[in-house]
Amino acid sequence: ERAIATGEIQTLEYTLATPDGPHHYESRTVRSGPEEVVSIVRDVTERKQAEAQLAHPALPDALTGRPNRVLFRERLRHAIECANRRAGYRFAVLFLDLDHFKVINDSLGHAVGDQLLITLAQRLRQCVRVGDTIARLGGDEFVILVEDIDEVLAVITTAERIQDELK
């Protein structure tokens, strides 16, 4: 109707559910006569999938399988929103940087350094609650988001548990 009324090309994107999953289409419609239109429809599923991948880079860290900085930022943003909405909602962020990690890579090789990071991520997982987020920022840096805490002592206990585990 808009193409007939305005005479301009009208573009519409839509998604159809199919047994193979969603398929994305783009149609362009233009007036071809007083009461006629011509539409060209093309499948843009591959383009939409590529755009989604570019917009959301892989969320797990390739080496450790832990969330990466993108996912950590999303979870931190969510925690901040919860704190703004709910009185008494508190969270903490713990930052962990391995001192002299470069020495390990330089002297023992990157394969040993990678194994150390994988082991570290596994050990950190044992020190926190199920809902807490451990993310690898990159290199030898990790952050831990401890959400919905009742008291500061709970965070201190978590930090002490991490220190004990990594000794």
In the residue annotation, 132 being an active-site residue is answered as no
pLDDT digit string, tens, across residues 29-80: 999 998 899 999 999 988 887 777 666 566 788 899 999 988 999 999 999 9
Residues composing the chain = 167
Active-site residue, selected from the candidate residues 140, 148, 150, 164: 140
* DSSP state for residue 159 in the 8-state scheme: H
Contact of 142 with 150, CB cutoff 8 Å: no
pTM of the model: 0.65
pLDDT digit string, tens, across residues 7-22: 999 999 999 988 878 8
Q: CA–CA separation, 165 vs 124, rounded Å?
A: 8
